[in-house]
């Protein structure tokens, strides 16, 4: 972004944990005209509404450039197993509609997921690794990536993983709540990934949005390093002053879920750094920073 340049932003999924942090990051930058749309304002299952909303927004843009960040998704991984049709519209078709409306008129930054991979790797997935989703959620997100790629233009797909934030429902908030309700917890220890603070992800997406020139078609953005869900839960306990040994490891087989989870979800961030974008901080450092000023959970006793 050059000095004095103005950018108009449209953020979909603006009421979710990532969308909330995107709006916060954008509020702190000069020269921005920001529009945030949640599910109530933009129904991604309605093609006509999606197209007209984006077209109306673009028609009203008076800034030098326009950037749309698609942070909206059908993220109910287990529910998608029995509601794949809806997930396919939101995750698979709507990104293509957004890409078509933005083509030649602005930049699209579309958020995707580690679930497009099969999770059988033993080293971080590079951006060009073959996709092989094993769940309905993964299949629909892969379809969304392909829809964006088919349109081409000024668009980037950004895969991320294990996102948590101070807002919305997520693993960290769940662990904090359960710590106050149970003496011990059991958490899966044979699934490995990179916990990603939504505020760090939001900052990265905005940096990508303002970047001058061409952007890579696919990138990975997570906090760096890796840990199991059990290790992640123990780190959360440490941050709130609880005994991490109260978190006991179990296997995926002992905690079956409707949708299969990737055993290995670590994404290689090399392409992100190679594009000149700011390298992400280690996941443990991000968690410590995120927990500063973390909102207090309601007392379950009332």
Domain boundaries, the chain: 7-170+196-223+266-280
pTM: 0.95
- Least trusted range by pLDDT, from 181-190, 223-232, 252-261, 287-296: 287-296
Tokens 């941050």 locate to: 239
- pLDDT value, residue 1: 53
Provide the pLDDT for residue 167: 87
Averaged pLDDT, 271-294: 95
pLDDT tens sequence across 160-194: 999 999 988 899 999 999 999 999 999 999 999 99
Q: How far is residue 290's CA from residue 1's CA, in Å, rounded to a whole number?
A: 27
* Per-residue confidence (pLDDT) for residue 301, from 0 to 100: 36
Per the CATH hierarchy, to which homologous superfamily does domain 7-170+196-223+266-280 belong? NAD(P)-binding Rossmann-like Domain (3.40.50.720)
DSSP string covering 105-125: TSEEEEEEEGGGS-S--SSPB
> Rounded to whole angstroms, how far apart are CA atoms 289 and 291?
5
Respond yes or no: is residue 115 known to be catalytic. Answer: no
pLDDT confidence of residue 294 = 83
Using an 8 Å Cβ cutoff, are 122 and 170 in contact? no
From the candidates 74, 115, 125, 137, give the one annotated as an active-site residue.
Answer: 137
Instruction: Tell me the C-alpha to C-alpha distance, in Å, between residue 21 and each of 28, 36, 277.
Output: 11, 11, 19
Residue 302: the pLDDT is 33
pLDDT tens figures, 205-247: 999 999 999 999 999 999 999 999 999 999 999 999 999 999 9
Among 174, 197, 196, 169, residue whose Cα is nearest residue 185: 174
């Amino acid at each position: 972004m050059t000095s004095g340049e103005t950018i108009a932003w449209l953020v979909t999924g603006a009421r979710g944990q990532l969308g909330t942090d995107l709006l916060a990051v954008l509020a702190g930058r000069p020269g921005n005209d920001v529009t945030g749309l949640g599910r109530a304002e933009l129904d991604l299952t309605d093609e006509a509404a999606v197209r007209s909303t984006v077209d109306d927004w673009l028609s009203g843009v008076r800034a030098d450039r326009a950037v749309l960040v698609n942070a909206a998704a059908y993220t109910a991984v287990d529910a998608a197993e029995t509601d794949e049709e809806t997930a396919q519209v939101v995750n698979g078709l709507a990104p293509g509609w957004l890409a078509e409306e933005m083509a030649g008129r602005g930049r699209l930054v579309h958020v995707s997921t580690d679930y497009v991979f099969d999770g059988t790797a033993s080293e971080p997935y590079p951006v060009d690794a073959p996709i092989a989703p094993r769940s309905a959620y993964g299949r629909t997100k892969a379809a969304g990536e392909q829809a964006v790629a088919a349109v081409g233009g000024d668009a980037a797909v950004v895969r991320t993983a294990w996102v948590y934030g101070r807002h919305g429902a997520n693993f960290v908030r769940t662990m904090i709540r359960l710590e106050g309700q149970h003496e011990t917890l059991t958490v899966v220890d044979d699934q490995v990934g990179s916990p990603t603070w939504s505020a760090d992800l939001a900052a990265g997406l905005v940096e990508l949005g303002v970047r001058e020139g061409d952007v890579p078609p696919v990138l990975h953005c997570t906090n760096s390093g890796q840990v199991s869900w059990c290790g992640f839960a123990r780190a959360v306990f440490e941050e709130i002053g609880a005994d991490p040994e109260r978190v006991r490891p179990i296997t995926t087989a002992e905690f079956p879920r409707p949708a299969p989870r990737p055993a290995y979800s670590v994404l290689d961030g090399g392409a992100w750094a190679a594009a000149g974008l700011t390298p992400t901080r280690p996941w443990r450092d991000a968690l410590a920073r995120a927990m500063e000023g973390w909102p207090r959970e309601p007392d379950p006793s009332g």
